[in-house]
Structure 1
């Protein structure tokens, strides 16, 4: 823009103040009133937009600008005017003389600000947030750069409503599959990261991050890699601010830690309450006890961050990561048609016909439904989640095309729900299509393509095809190491899965060695008590058990359980899972009475926390039944197995692997009670189901046929038993002949 440019015949642009993702900010002169103002010029929509689309966006701009202009508080930047000039949307704001908090930290060489200034900033921002939240407005992108301290000491929040405006118009980065304005990773709340609905308490969390940084000189999760930052917000309690700065007052530390509670319910109720706490502390009155940091919410197997985090960077704090992995292209979405590119050929476009830009209303509805599917999954309601994701995938394919990233994101989630409901073969087909689509449009080594291939390896393992899984994991690992480095969290996750799969191939020593290495690397990168570190130590314990080193396995499981109880809470699902494995180890060591006591407590805890029909509650009940049998209490064991099998059949389905495990336990109990004919019928039904679900060559299916042969022996039908044993042996040889030791 020329320095003399006049907007709407009134605002003359003088000096460029700053430039960002949404546009430029200029110092300007209001020629009508003769005052200096700041003019934010937003990026143009572009000529490719349909008329109806740009009309909707202009109306959204006017709506959000009116909301921002209606805010009248000394702690909020005043918006004087807004409009459109030659296709350019603009906002006219008061011109502020001062420095934002990010600049103040830089001026201070990243040293923390004086305590009295921190307390003053906290109180002023709290009053400003209280006002805006009472107007029903949430900032969504509170960070040091958006908080200005003027030369007279007044503190103002900038860009209220702009984060939402940027999301609506498509200027800010879009979170694929969640529909939330992305915000800045170092200051995002856990609910923003997880794609949940945000309210005023999300701003309180972001304020906690800001206060932590100005009080200590570093953000609460100060990692080079944005992925690790987001995981930290979601899973890891922050370090005490006083561990960085011992002279920080106790009341200030308690306020910051309350604001950083993982659960919104653990934070102050509202900003007004926060302002009162600061005022009481300044006057010397006792502040209320801190609410404490809530444990991280439960989630899926190896709970994952949304796909939009792949390759993300955070500016200066992620420079090294940025050099290795380019961020995903988010220029599509609401701002224009998405055009698939031929991988490896810059500028080359695939032959798929161009589609009209879908309406923003339709995209918003699909985004909301996608988020609803994710929420159902987080609640463990996988069948319902799968139905939602399948419907959204079909509509996204129609509106956006089969290879659009959002369509593939929905299909990826379909694969995940299939995997969680025991339909591994169907999941494999879905993930394969996703991987192929992402390879075509993003390239085979893009982080999202690698994520799909890694899930293919996982379901191959579920299907007992461990050699193929090993090959896939090995290939993905090589790509991740090239693109991200050996210690990137995604690389370490792949190595973790590879270690797990090695144990299923019978390479127990290799599995144990790799798990120990990954645990050490995760401890170094993420911390000793980080959930991912403990997951790998859990795998170390599993490998020790498989090697027959049950005393060491028991000790490791106990250490993991204790660490999880301290960092996540006694009732966290991961803590309860480690306690379950402690019971397994006790049983293997012949200490069934101790295991029985542990499982009874675990069933009570699981029932209280998750309900009696939860799959993990039923898993604990299964362990209880097994140990009843080991103690010779077979009638009780049989009753327990039947009850668990019936509930699992209703909850998970009659042919879910866990249901079949319980039905096999029913057969075991029948056999021990001498009821071999009944046991044979049960074993045969389990074997037939496993043949259908897993395939006749799957190890579990072969084990069921061996169970059937053993029953035949007990019934005196030796010829049939021998024939069945031979058929099982032939299938095992056939399975083995198609593979070689990796």
Structure 2
């Protein structure tokens, strides 16, 4: 169709005002009524198009006409007419005078919109969604380009081309079955990405993406690779908006992050609730809030649906701008109580550090973070709010508070639904998960057998939820240094997963990955390396060579090689992983920075401390810029810097660095945090090298006492601390005391070795 073309003898096309994936929009004059309108025409596909694609697009176009014509709300574009002209479908709508949100951001040169405008747009769009959802219509493609702000300030939602009517699910299934992508990657909900059931809460997630972008100037996951964007939505908590825009009010940040919860049940219940929250202008500021667990259910954590295979990132509001940096899912976890170097699945940006390095505890987020069943939505609003608050606390790393909150919710579920209801059992699983991360490992471990037995009785022994609980119990055993028992449980769970899901299922591979980690802790480094190599190869085949899970397993291979003394090979792999992550996720992504950390660590282990020092300084600069000077990862890099200063014989500098890092860790993480204790030990090491053994002994004893209190007197790290004490006593000429301490440690280690033989 062209300019001045008369459509159906009534609508004269005047000029082209917009072009999208499905059609073109023309300003036109209705010759019958003498008014100006907008006419949207389905674009011709050319002579070589796929007939099935044409059929789908025609259905979508007709669907938009039918859906939009049935709606009457000031926040929804009015449809006047629909038909076909010379075989081309057309849609006649009201002509809107204004700019869509994409254009508003472009006009603003990439800068975010004023706060008052963000709040006003949020309230108007939420009100329009409340109306459409009440009428059973889910938009499913909400994005800045589909939201218009008129010259009088009115905000309208446009383009219902892939909307779903509540009573017309079959129609949606037919569209999905064609392999044509539904939605725009930068604004798609995790359930859309995973191919799950989509309801009104998917629109709320998309609205959260839109509000994040107009509030900060960039989408939550602003990556150039469509696959990386989808993975970001599915697996990665968004960076808090106030990290990008400090003047954004706390209540707006909280609303945006609530909308961006990974699981639908953790978002606002409906758009009406959202309208009340926005207009109520809640004043409680929650800086750095991230809502919802970082992972989806087990069923959603496999490969992305086939229709995403050739997907591009699509159009976002701005073609350029600041790159969004999805944060390390584990970066905010402040209660990491395992101090042994392990890299269990779930926290992808983990480190493996030796005795003199910062040994990152890397808590494994569970492979199957069980979502509560649909019955949860019927719970009283107070219970649902408590569950959201528990998830928010967990996302902030406030695990002790999250554990208590989840325990309270689980008790309510037991009273309402019964102790063996799947939702009750899921609530208990979440509570125990949080308790482990809060350091209450022994308490959680005592409760896991009963929970696993209940899930086996209700759901079956090979049900994913049952296996998830058993796998978490294995993780807890590892946290307590009981690696032989952990290995047994992982092996049993792995056999069940192979039997129930097959050897190449992502959850099976995740369990094998954790088994490889445990083999390394048992000193079976060749077995650990071989298993990790097999997992990496399988993941490369199933998920692709650059998939984050594949790269995590390659890091585990490198770790096993390093522990075996093959640091050159480890260094090569860490460098390759760092390059791959920079390419796929971005140079400043936390996972990329983590691989760079491992590279610097490997250089130090190879005796190339000058090179390591340079890498650590570069990493500290980038970590400080991206995550801040007191972020745990920034401090970890500073710790590595101090270690290598000591290796170069610069012990006064090393001592000063260790003391400063120890103080910052104590202030930000707490005096008993494993990272703080590692820094305190490094202070003692430097004091010893400077000949100040009495002061060193005091620091070593503080470390050992704290480890004994939180990890137990027989934990390997507690015993290592006692060995450090004995060495100090020896250097102070107190040989008898040193000998008694050495013998005591040796007896316990022999007992442990015979018990695990």
TM-score (norm 2): 0.59
Aligned to 2:207: 199
Is 1:422–1:656's contact at 8 Å kept on the other side of the alignment?
no
Instruction: State whether structure 2 residue 721 is matched by structure 1 residue 721.
Output: no
Aligned to 1:135: 128
Aligned to 1:709: 726
RMSD: 4.6
Equivalent runs, 1:525-564 vs 2, <5 Å: 525-564=542-581
Instruction: State whether structure 2 residue 503 is matched by structure 1 residue 455.
Output: no
Q: Secondary structure at the match of 1:548?
A: coil
Q: CA separation in 1, counterparts of 2:518 and 2:368? A: 24
Q: CA separation in 1, counterparts of 2:628 and 2:398? A: 13
Equivalent runs, 1:63-102 vs 2, <5 Å: 74=65, 76=67
Aligned to 1:524: 541
List alignment gaps of at least 5 residues for structure 2.
Answer: 1-62, 73-78, 103-120, 142-158, 170-188, 214-225, 232-295, 331-344, 348-364
Q: CA separation in 1, counterparts of 2:89 and 2:297? A: 26
Is 2:386–2:405's contact at 8 Å kept on the other side of the alignment?
yes
Aligned to 1:299: 329
Aligned to 1:567: 584
**Shift, 1:199, TM fit:** 1.7
Q: Deviations over 1:108-151 (max 9, x none)?
A: xxxxxxxx999999xx9x99x9998782357696679xxxxxxx
Instruction: State whether structure 2 residue 409 is matched by structure 1 residue 392.
Output: yes
Q: Deviations over 1:425-452 (max 9, x none)?
A: 3342354443233223222221011111
Q: Could you tell which deviates more after superposition, 292-301 or 510-519?
A: 292-301
Mark the CA change 1:239 to 1:694 in structure 2 (over 3 Å): closer, same or farther: same
List alignment gaps of at least 5 residues for structure 1.
Answer: 1-71, 82-93, 99-115, 145-153, 165-179, 206-215, 242-255, 260-266, 269-287, 311-327, 335-359
Q: Deviations over 1:459-516 (max 9, x none)?
A: 2112111100000000000000000000000000000000110011010101000100
Aligned to 1:186: 195
Aligned to 1:679: 696
Instruction: State whether structure 2 residue 483 is matched by structure 1 residue 484.
Output: no
Instruction: State whether structure 2 residue 641 is matched by structure 1 residue 624.
Output: yes
Q: CA separation in 2, counterparts of 1:295 and 1:238? A: 22
Mark the CA change 1:483 to 1:719 in structure 2 (over 3 Å): closer, same or farther: same
Q: CA separation in 2, counterparts of 1:564 and 1:181? A: 22
Equivalent of 1:378 in 395, 411, 416: 395
Instruction: State whether structure 2 residue 266 is matched by structure 1 residue 258.
Output: no
Mark the CA change 1:652 to 1:695 in structure 2 (over 3 Å): closer, same or farther: same
Mark the CA change 1:566 to 1:203 in structure 2 (over 3 Å): closer, same or farther: same
Equivalent runs, 1:113-192 vs 2, <5 Å: 135-137=128-130, 157=162, 159-160=164-165, 185-186=194-195
Aligned to 1:506: 523
Q: CA separation in 1, counterparts of 2:709 and 2:717? A: 12
Q: CA separation in 2, counterparts of 1:617 and 1:380? A: 17
Equivalent of 1:648 in 651, 654, 665: 665
Q: CA separation in 1, counterparts of 2:199 and 2:432? A: 25
Q: CA separation in 1, counterparts of 2:398 and 2:469? A: 22
Q: Secondary structure at the match of 2:67?
A: coil
Instruction: State whether structure 2 residue 592 is matched by structure 1 residue 599.
Output: no
Q: CA separation in 1, counterparts of 2:581 and 2:557? A: 16
Q: CA separation in 1, counterparts of 2:451 and 2:459? A: 11
Is 1:526–1:533's contact at 8 Å kept on the other side of the alignment?
yes
Q: Deviations over 1:587-622 (max 9, x none)?
A: 100111111121222222222222233222222121
Mark the CA change 1:597 to 1:369 in structure 2 (over 3 Å): closer, same or farther: farther
Structure with the bigger RCO (C-alpha within 8 Å, sep 6+) is: 2
Equivalent runs, 1:651-666 vs 2, <5 Å: 651-666=668-683
Q: CA separation in 2, counterparts of 1:519 and 1:634? A: 40
Is 2:82–2:91's contact at 8 Å kept on the other side of the alignment?
no
Aligned to 2:54: none
Mark the CA change 1:630 to 1:188 in structure 2 (over 3 Å): closer, same or farther: farther
Mark the CA change 1:681 to 1:477 in structure 2 (over 3 Å): closer, same or farther: same
Q: CA separation in 1, counterparts of 2:522 and 2:190? A: 44
Mark the CA change 1:200 to 1:598 in structure 2 (over 3 Å): closer, same or farther: closer
Is 1:663–1:686's contact at 8 Å kept on the other side of the alignment?
yes
Aligned to 2:261: none
TM-score (norm 1): 0.60
Q: Secondary structure at the match of 2:545?
A: coil
Q: CA separation in 2, counterparts of 1:143 and 1:532? A: 29
Mark the CA change 1:684 to 1:295 in structure 2 (over 3 Å): closer, same or farther: closer
Question: Aligned residues, how many?
Answer: 513
Q: Secondary structure at the match of 2:620?
A: helix
Q: Deviations over 1:89-122 (max 9, x none)?
A: xxxxx9x999xxxxxxxxxxxxxxxxx999999x
